[in-house]
Structure 1
Amino acid sequence: MADKTFKLNTGAEIPALGLGTWQGEPGKVKSAVAHALKNGYKLIDCAYCYGNEDEVGEGLAEAFASGVKREDVFIMTKVWATYNTRVELGLEKSLKALGLDYVDLYLVHWPLLLNPEGNDDRFPKLPDGSRDVIHGWDHREAWKQMEALVNSGKVKAIGVCNYSKKYLEELLPVAKIVPAINQIENHPALPQTEIVDLCKEKGIHIVAYSPLGSTGSPLQTAEPVVKLAEKKGVSPVTILLSHHVARGHTVLAKSVNPDRITANKNIVDLDADDLKLLDDYSAEIVSKKEWKRYVYPPFGVQFGFPDKS
């Protein structure tokens, strides 16, 4: 299962499992990336906003020096919200940090604009401490700049991240290029069915982040997850990661622990009955409106997610 891939609307193949680098412990990201690639991972997810692309780049360089081929690795990164009016500059900064000539996929990280001339390159704030957001900016402007990058040779494909059904429905009518993926928080406690269904209809591949929820998440002890773990003789973590692959989605597993990185490759097959157990669990959560989103920066912007409306 480690080599399983899915075909994007560009014709390219994206691995089913990737290493996430968000909140990677400083000083450990380089070795995590290198270890993952030397042990069979083919997808690395990063972002300018994470502030660790230099370390990711060092890990890539170590893996390439050990014999891993650049063309065998799928690398995606994201333009941060302070660069949504300067998309190419954002890309150049990431490429330089990563030590790369191109990335396989470049994403709009969030569909908003943080003040490009604010008091911080990544997280500008107003005097009251709130995020310095440029309200009234049209997120579709960033996509026009993203589309202009495709012929540059510096990106193989473009996509979006954290896009709701509402925002996708605003983007698609004016998009000359349909996004290759939508990277969203996705797990049984946040199924986001309305977004997933729209993406499937439009040929946009789902990439799931935070598949385990987050620290303190009850997902690993949820009854259907534990039941399937016992049935398959694997850990609840394996079930939560395998859940996405069985649905035809790519999943990002985040860790800097070498043993855990290796263990996360243990994706197992889940059949229709297995998936129904998890789907029923999700449906009950949605019916009670007890969904749980773990990643939602305090932008003060209404992004159109039902659980945040």
Structure 2
Amino acid sequence: MPVTKLIELNSGHTMPVVGLGTGKIIESQEIHNTIGIAVKNGYRHFDTAFSYKNEIGIGEALKYQIDAGNVTRHEIFIATKLPLIGMSRSRVSQFVNLSLKNLQLDYIDLYLIHWPVGLTYVSEHELMPRDENGQLQLDMTTNLVEIWKAMEDQVDQGRVKAIGLSNCTQQQIQRILNICRIKPASLQIEVHLYFQQNELRMFCKKNDISVTAYSPLGSQGRSNYINAHKLKVPKLFQDPVVKKIAASHEKTPAQILLRFLVQGLNVQVIPKTVDSTRLHENIEIFDFELSTEEIERLMELDEGEFGRCCRSFEGAILHPECPFD
């Protein structure tokens, strides 16, 4: 069975380097099957979010694995996230408690601010509230500093072991660093071969904040479910440099892409898949190493901002905390 390596967060807790992303995995039987295969293949890091609407299914699937003796709670690392409708100091505790209930946990290993943009709270079920004209109801009073203080309170109360950010800019992170009692332990952002986020990664390294890459394989499946004609889905698997390096190591292109991020860019990865073969391959990346020359060749493929493929949601650009266009 492949075994993922661990890194130590600045909170003193450890996090598996390879995790399973679960966005868009919402059907209960699919969740149950995927979690079962993942645990069997050595996955111990599971990334979800209140907004994914799958916390209940993941909680049930993991409880089944624990009760069956296949894994212990101590071995599992769960990351989940504060939704946009929870982006106020008074709502943080509410949504932490909801996630704990959904996941059937006594504590969350890592709790992240999902987006710096806040939406007006209508109910816990209306994740993207709209007005009578169909426009998103943006909460223009979103205050990241106050929200972070509420996140720190959750650590103090033992509901959360570590706290962090997602989809935030360097400037937003610095504002948190200027006032925090508890530093962000992790930043979750889009990082892949064509979008390496060098400046932001270096900033995080300087401030002892780990970086977790979502869409580490370029979100190849996104074209199946959201406005495919508007999306840039990079063909990372077809890149000739990647294919050549994969052949030389007798590995798949996906394994090269993930190994590059982990070894070359020193980030954690949370690829999403429900395919049993790919679940096995995605975590089996620690039995080989890329050479210095290979890493350098892959680094040269960075396209900077032109490589970004995940954008803000509709209407978010009007919010003062929108991290990017």
Measured against the shorter chain, the TM-score band is over 0.9
Question: What is the letter of the counterpart of residue 73 of structure 2?
Answer: R
Q: In the alignment, is residue 196 of structure 1 matched against residue 201 of structure 2?
A: yes
User: What's the CA shift for 1:290?
Assistant: 2.6
Residue 47 of structure 2: aligned partner:
45
Residue 289 of structure 2: aligned partner:
269
Residue 67 of structure 2: aligned partner:
65
Q: Structure 1: state its 5+ residue gaps.
A: none
Residue 29 of structure 1: aligned partner:
31
User: What's the CA shift for 1:217?
Assistant: 2.5
Residue pair 1:78, 1:106 contacting (<8 A) in 2 also = yes
2:184 to 176, 179, 183: 179
Residue 13 of structure 2: aligned partner:
12
1:162 to 167, 181, 196: 167
Residue pair 2:84, 2:117 contacting (<8 A) in 1 also = yes
1:256 to 274, 284, 299: 274
Residue pair 1:110, 1:161 contacting (<8 A) in 2 also = yes
Number of residue pairs aligned between Structure 1 and Structure 2: 303
State the TM-score, normalizing by the size of structure 2: 0.88
1:228-267 matches, cutoff 5 A: 228-246=245-263, 247-267=265-285
CA distance in 2: counterparts of 1:89 and 1:279, whole angstroms: 42
Residue pair 1:30, 1:59 contacting (<8 A) in 2 also = yes
Residue pair 1:115, 1:124 contacting (<8 A) in 2 also = yes
Q: In the alignment, is residue 278 of structure 1 matched against residue 298 of structure 2?
A: yes
User: What's the CA shift for 1:120?
Assistant: 5.3
CA distance in 1: counterparts of 2:311 and 2:76, whole angstroms: 27
Question: What is the letter of the counterpart of residue 76 of structure 2?
Answer: V
1:25-83 per-position Cα deviation (integer Å, ceiling 9, x unaligned)? 52311221122123211101111000011110111011102211100111111111111
CA distance in 2: counterparts of 1:302 and 1:240, whole angstroms: 34
CA distance in 2: counterparts of 1:94 and 1:166, whole angstroms: 28
Residue 101 of structure 2: aligned partner:
96
Residue pair 2:107, 2:161 contacting (<8 A) in 1 also = yes
CA distance in 2: counterparts of 1:119 and 1:44, whole angstroms: 23
Q: Structure 2: state its 5+ residue gaps.
A: 221-232
Residue 218 of structure 1: aligned partner:
235
Residue pair 1:118, 1:132 contacting (<8 A) in 2 also = no
1:237-287 per-position Cα deviation (integer Å, ceiling 9, x unaligned)? 1111111210321100101222221221121422322211111111xx23x
CA distance in 1: counterparts of 2:173 and 2:179, whole angstroms: 10
CA distance in 1: counterparts of 2:252 and 2:167, whole angstroms: 28
CA distance in 2: counterparts of 1:158 and 1:99, whole angstroms: 19
Residue pair 1:164, 1:304 contacting (<8 A) in 2 also = no
1:102-153 per-position Cα deviation (integer Å, ceiling 9, x unaligned)? 1111111111211012795211112332321111422222111001111211
Question: What is the letter of the counterpart of residue 22 of structure 1?
Answer: G
Residue pair 1:125, 1:131 contacting (<8 A) in 2 also = yes
**C-alpha RMSD over aligned residues:** 1.8
Q: In the alignment, is residue 137 of structure 1 matched against residue 133 of structure 2?
A: no
Distance 1:281 1:59, change over 3 A: same
Residue pair 1:6, 1:248 contacting (<8 A) in 2 also = no
State the TM-score, normalizing by the size of structure 1: 0.92
CA distance in 2: counterparts of 1:118 and 1:128, whole angstroms: 19
Question: What is the letter of the counterpart of residue 9 of structure 1?
Answer: N
Distance 1:304 1:82, change over 3 A: closer
Question: What is the letter of the counterpart of residue 17 of structure 2?
Answer: A
Q: In the alignment, is residue 112 of structure 1 matched against residue 117 of structure 2?
A: yes
Residue pair 1:76, 1:106 contacting (<8 A) in 2 also = yes
* SS of corresponding position for 1:107: strand
CA distance in 1: counterparts of 2:309 and 2:277, whole angstroms: 28
Q: Which runs of 4+ in 1 moved over 4 A?
A: 302-305
* SS of corresponding position for 1:157: strand
